Structure 1
Amino acid sequence: MNLILLFALVLCCRMTAARSYWSDKPSVIATDEINDGDRVQVSCTLPVDYRGGQCRLYRGNSKTPFKVMIATDYICIFHMSSEELLGNLPVGSLVRLCCDYKLQEYTSVKSDHSVIVVWGSRPSPALSVSHRFVSPDDSVEVTCTPPMDQHAYKCSFLRGQFYIKEGSCNMNLTGRQLGLWEKPALLLPIDLGCTYSPRHDLYITSKSSNRHMVFVVDVQRVSSSVDCKVSVRKDQLEAFKDTNWTSVGENGNSATITVTNSTLALNETCSYVERQN
């Protein structure tokens, strides 16, 4: 091959490769999720300075932008409410966003999509439990009841802010399930609550229910019989059907739990004091 032709071919390939590293595609930056009623910031980042041109924001596969602003820098920042973000979509929807930019007769390619979930909420359900003390292998019946005008396709039970299990709004949970990923102990307090989801096709969940204090008692962890005292808030104390409960282990040792509303000394055997809010 002619050396001049070979040199020209190599140069052409290198120029083509160099151009392939540059792209006129912008990018969308946004948070992953917001709650209905919140405001959100969405950024469209431009690869070059197109001051005076238009930044255009699109929802889904729409060919018509729903937000337009004049670029003043390498980045356009759109501020909007959840209602503006949703448009005609219902609360609980997953919104796909992309952007492009336009300057005079030039229009860039569109960015990749970014996704924002707009969470919706419903009124709180009511939680009930069959009993307040349970051993690791026994179970307690828990029921999450939505308000009369609400329908639930599933319910979720949680310890504090940590979800334990979801599915039916009435189920039996063992002591081990209640204490999932907690360090095993003779007396394990569980702050139990629940939420419900009214629709399977939308990101909607209820506000949390009332809370119930449940105790997982593992008597197998004692080498001799013990008496335990538990202090709870007055409103929780009234919900306990029995203020005394005894569990007997396979080795014959027992743990007797007494529920009170008085202050306990820190050195008392097997004691628990609920934080007073």
Structure 2
Amino acid sequence: MSLIQLFILSTCCWTAAARYIWSDVPKLLLEYVEITEGEVLDVGCTVPIDYGEGVCRLFRGDSDYPFATVRAQSYSCNFHVGSSQLLGHRPVGSKISIRCDYKIQDFISQSSDSSYIIVWGTRPSPKLSVSRHFIPLDDSIEVTCSPPVTSVSRCYFYKDGFQFWGESCSRNLTGQALAVYQKLDPLLPVNLSCTYDPVTTHYIRSQYSNHISVFVVDMSKVSSSMDCEVSGPQYQLENSSWTTTGTNGANVTVRVTNSTLPSGHICT
């Protein structure tokens, strides 16, 4: 084989390999798969080659027209798209399918796989109320989530920011349920809040309710009477002082103070 033939063969192989690489499917990377109306989402689109002269493009659904473009940086493109860009003409509370590709001069890659993003809508906050703020471990309290709308599919209750129950908007909670997986020494402050889902065909949820502090007391760990102070706004609690008596006759008295205390409470 002559040198000219070898050069032509090598050139053809390199061109074919380059076409194969350029045809590779880009990958779509999402910071989150759910955002709330008004938020911004970071979206990445990785490309199989290092180039800086082309652009990456984002598409919504089956549309052939990109709704966002950015110039490529090395092997990736980074988009910052707001909820209104993602929605386009769709209503808030929609589930959006997006995909990306990259383009350089007249070459257009294949599209990435599609990914879905939910743009949640919000409704006004409900009001949370409790029957009392101090509860022995073996007793219960009633918690009620009151939405400002009439059509509600369910309510969700949160303990220290984590959802632990969701169904009806009023229920009894035992001290055991509030204190599960947590240490009582012997007083445990718990921060409660709630949300609700309105009856709708879209992805709509409420903002969080007011936060209420509830204090669980484990009387089985009390061998002698003690006084406890808890920090918190007095307007949130029905009394500034509360006392409970254990089976051994020992009393635990809890007083509310506006002072900042370690872990929100202190017992002596």
Q: Same fold (TM over 0.5)?
A: yes
2 CA distance for matches of 1:59 and 1:138? 53
Q: Which residue of 2 aligns with 1:240?
A: 238
Name the counterpart of 1:14: none
Name the aligned partner's letter for residue 255 of structure 1: N
Higher mean alpha-carbon deviation, 155-164 vs 47-56, is at 47-56
Change beyond 3 A, Cα 1:222–1:70? closer
Give me the whole-angstrom Cα distance separating, in 2, the residues matched to 1:265 and 1:89.
49
Across the two proteins, how many residue pairs are aligned to each other?
Answer: 247
- Asked if the contact 2:233/2:258 (under 8 Å) is kept, the reply is no
User: 1:97 is matched by which residue type in structure 2?
Assistant: I
Q: How far has the Cα of 1:143 moved from its partner? A: 0.4
- 2:252 corresponds to 1:256: yes
Question: Matches of 2:218 and 2:56 in 1, distance apart?
Answer: 62
| Change beyond 3 A, Cα 1:231–1:104 | closer
Aligned to 1:6: none
Partner residue in 2 for 1:134: 135
Would the alpha carbon gap of residues 129 and 48 (structure 1) be closer, same or farther in structure 2, given more than 3 Å must change? same
Q: 2 CA distance for matches of 1:265 and 1:101?
A: 57
Identical amino acids, percent of aligned pairs: 40
Q: What is residue 216 of structure 1 aligned with on the other side?
A: 216
Q: Name the structure 1 match of 2:41.
A: 40
Q: Is 2:195 the partner of 1:195?
A: yes
d(CA) in 1 for partners of 2:256 and 2:28? 56
Instruction: Supply the AA of the counterpart residue of 1:271.
Output: C
For the residue of structure 2 that corresponds to 1:153, the secondary structure is: strand
Task: Supply the distance in 2 between the matched residues of 1:229 and 1:46 (Cα, whole angstroms).
Answer: 61
TM-score (norm 1): 0.74
CA distance in 1, matches of 2:198, 2:190: 26
Q: Point out where structure 1 has 5 or more consecutive residues left out of the alignment.
A: 1-17, 273-277
Give unmatched runs, 5+ long, in structure 2. 1-16
Cα distance, 1:103–1:227 mapped onto 2, change above 3 Å: closer
| Displacement after TM superposition at 1:118 (Å) | 2.5
Which amino acid is the alignment partner of residue 142 of structure 1? Answer: V
The answer on whether the counterparts of 2:101 and 2:109 sit within 8 Å (CA) in structure 1 is yes
Identify if the C-alpha distance between structure 1 residues 182 and 203 changes in structure 2 by more than 3 Å, giving closer, same or farther: farther
Deviation at 1:173, TM superposition (A): 1.0
Question: Which residue number in structure 2 is paired with residue 171 of structure 1?
Answer: 171
Question: What is the CA–CA distance in structure 1 between the aligned matches of 2:122 and 2:261, rounded to whole Å?
Answer: 42
SS at match of 1:210: coil
Answer yes or no: is the 8 Å Cα contact 1:35–1:118 preserved in 2.
yes
Deviations 1:30-81 (A, max 9, x none): 2113332122332222212455545331123444433345556543333332
SS of equivalent to 1:92 = coil
